[in-house]
Amino acid sequence: MKPLNEYKKIVILTGAGISAESGISTFRDSQGLWEQHKIEDVATPEAFEKDPLLVWKFYSMRRLQAAKAKPNLAHLALIQFAKAHPDVHLITQNVDALHLRADTTHSLPPICMHGSLHESSCSNCGIVYLDDYAYFNELGDYAPQETELCDSTQRSHQHYLHHYNLEYRNFIPLSPCCKVMIRPHIVWFGEMPQHMEKIYHQISHCDLFVSIGTSGVVYPAASFLAGAKAAGAHTVCLNKEPIPQAAFIDEFIEGSATDIVPRFFRI
């Protein structure tokens, strides 16, 4: 492999493994149960239809867990690298906002293909709201301004942590637009990931593709290594264990993210 600074366009894909050492459980490591729930009971559109309150409570727990976690050395190493390299792009399957929180200088805005724990949307028309709305509207002491919608980056971490602790609640608010249940703005199993056109464009134009902490079994992200390889990129996988896409990986580096990511991206 060439030195990193000789690659023109670098695309990085991250999965749950990069946040594992921040204390956020991956799905694959949990033997079919995710925080004691079967995935089909909490992370599918059918689950929300059947038992919306169970799904809402599951995501309330995950919001609080993510808000309490801190970005680790792997998240920080990607930001340091992006500051020194002109053309790096980050695609993440994670919904925990740790990439955003690591990026205080706005050097590496992530494309969040599976949504964000900090946003909710109207289950009828899809308009996206900051979770502040979901938590505060019922109390009658918070109403989002038009400009605040969809811009979770303007919210500080302290803001979230403070309010999730205070208002860790078990109700499902109604959306202000259609007056129907609001839902977590998360791409559930069986739903279409977000920003796919932009993602495919990035992948087909990169000359280095690096996959970090993802099991390679959740599609379409699982096809990105093959796509990058077909586009002529050098492909690297950093993970705790081998993944099924071996045929499309030029270089596999095994280990824990906080160890191997800073070593790989040191400049």
CB of 58 to ligand NAD, least distance (A): 12
Q: Site for ligand NAD (CB under 6 A): which residue of 27, 142, 200, 252?
A: 27
Nearer to ligand NAD, 17 or 184 (CB): 17
H helices, E strands: number in the chain? 10, 11
Q: Site for ligand NAD (CB under 6 A): which residue of 35, 46, 241, 251?
A: 241
Sequence-distant (6+) residues with CB within 8 A of 187 are 113, 114, 115, 193, 194
Binding status of residue 252 toward ligand NAD by CB under 6 A: no
Binding status of residue 239 toward ligand NAD by CB under 6 A: yes
Region for residue 106 given its phi and psi (left: phi exceeds 0; alpha: psi -120 to 50; beta: otherwise) = left
CB of 73 to ligand NAD, least distance (A): 11
Cα-Cα-Cα-Cα dihedral sign, residues 201, 204, 208, 213: positive
Q: Per the structure block, which two tokens stand in for 137?
A: 């509207």
Binding status of residue 28 toward ligand NAD by CB under 6 A: yes
Binding status of residue 9 toward ligand NAD by CB under 6 A: no
CB of 16 to ligand NAD, least distance (A): 3
Binding status of residue 213 toward ligand NAD by CB under 6 A: yes
- Alpha-carbon span 63 to 60, nearest angstrom: 5
- 195 labelled catalytic: no
Q: Do residues 195 and 49 make contact, with C-beta atoms less than 8 angstroms apart?
A: no
Binding status of residue 205 toward ligand NAD by CB under 6 A: no
CB of 122 to ligand NAD, least distance (A): 22
Question: Residue 242: helix, strand or coil by DSSP?
Answer: coil
- Alpha-carbon span 197 to 199, nearest angstrom: 5
Give the footprint of ligand NAD on this chain (CB under 6 A): 15-17, 19-21, 24, 26-29, 93-96, 114, 213-215, 218, 239-241, 243, 256-257
- Which residues does the annotation mark as catalytic? 114
